[in-house]
């Protein structure tokens, strides 16, 4: 039986892989805000169910069956985020947490209705696609991290890491949201960035800038 807890672990593993993270128990504990012993027990159960395998170096990998479940939950999460934003007008920086709560309660019939209503493809309110993307895939589409942007150039925000609610609120207050236009004015000695946005001139640290994907202004990335 696939419980809510097991689904959460499988989705977290898929998300960590897409971010280029080494998926180990400590990383899962951090992502899911649970204790290390709880992760150990959960991974043991998932392994027994044939949904993950644990390599000799401790890295956790999804099996084909585990990946199928994780991708299904990811699509459902994506559709709920779009529903909340496009149909109900919920602010973009709030939808992830709401979707986390609702994704397990959606029936296959309702999921099909959402898909018919919203259509396939399309980005979520954070600018991310329904399929988890690796950094390499985003770069192939012509995107780059704001942290690597060139001073003096203009950019459009393409996608933002969505798991950190405080980060999303922080960026929103500084005019950095999906679709927003900005210009990188200066890269400072301490690696902070000075940006011109709709909120005026703002400063952004490297940790936050590494969570924002942008495209050159006027460039349309392939979807």
Are 178 and 126 within 8 A, CB to CB? Answer: yes
Residue 165: how many other CB atoms lie within 10 Å:
12
pLDDT band at 209 (very low <50, low <70, confident <90, very high): very high
Residue 218 clears pLDDT 70, i.e. is over it:
no
End-to-end CA distance of the chain: 35
- Per-residue pLDDT tens for 84-112? 999 999 999 999 999 999 999 899 999 99
Domains detected in the chain? 4-62 (1.10.10.10), 67-118 (1.10.60.10), 136-216 (2.30.30.90)
Query: What does the pLDDT read at residue 25?
Result: 86
E strand map for the chain? 52-54, 60-62, 144-145, 154-160, 181-187, 193-197, 200-204, 212-216
- Per-residue pLDDT tens for 131-157? 888 899 999 999 999 999 999 999 999
C-alpha span between 139 and 56 (Å, rounded): 31
Q: Average per-residue pLDDT in the chain?
A: 92
What backbone torsions phi and psi does residue 206 show, to the nearest 5 degrees? -65, -40
* The token pair that represents 126 in the structure block: 């954070």
Query: What does the pLDDT read at residue 220?
Result: 58
Are 185 and 153 within 8 A, CB to CB? Answer: no
């Amino acid at each position: 039986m696939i419980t809510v807890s097991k689904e959460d672990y499988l989705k977290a593993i898929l998300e960590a892989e897409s971010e280029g993270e080494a998926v180990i128990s400590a990383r899962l504990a951090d992502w899911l805000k649970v204790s290390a012993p709880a992760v150990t027990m959960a991974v043991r159960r998932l392994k027994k169910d044939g949904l993950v395998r644990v390599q000799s170096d401790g890295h956790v990998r999804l099996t084909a069956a585990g990946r199928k479940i994780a991708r299904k939950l990811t699509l459902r999460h994506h559709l709920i985020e779009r529903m909340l934003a496009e149909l109900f007008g919920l602010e973009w920086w709030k939808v992830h947490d709401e979707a986390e709560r609702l994704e397990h309660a959606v029936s296959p019939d309702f999921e099909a209705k959402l898909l018919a209503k919203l259509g396939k493809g399309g980005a979520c309110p954070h600018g991310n696609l329904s399929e988890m993307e690796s950094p390499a895939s985003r770069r192939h589409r012509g995107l780059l991290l704001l942290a690597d942007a060139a001073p003096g150039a203009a950019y459009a925000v393409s996608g933002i890491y969505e798991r950190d609610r405080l980060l999303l609120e922080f960026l929103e207050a500084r005019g950095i949201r999906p679709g927003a236009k900005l210009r990188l004015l200066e890269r400072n000695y301490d690696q902070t960035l000075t940006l011109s946005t709709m909120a005026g001139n703002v400063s952004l640290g490297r940790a936050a800038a590494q969570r924002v994907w942008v495209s050159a202004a006027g460039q349309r990335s392939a979807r």
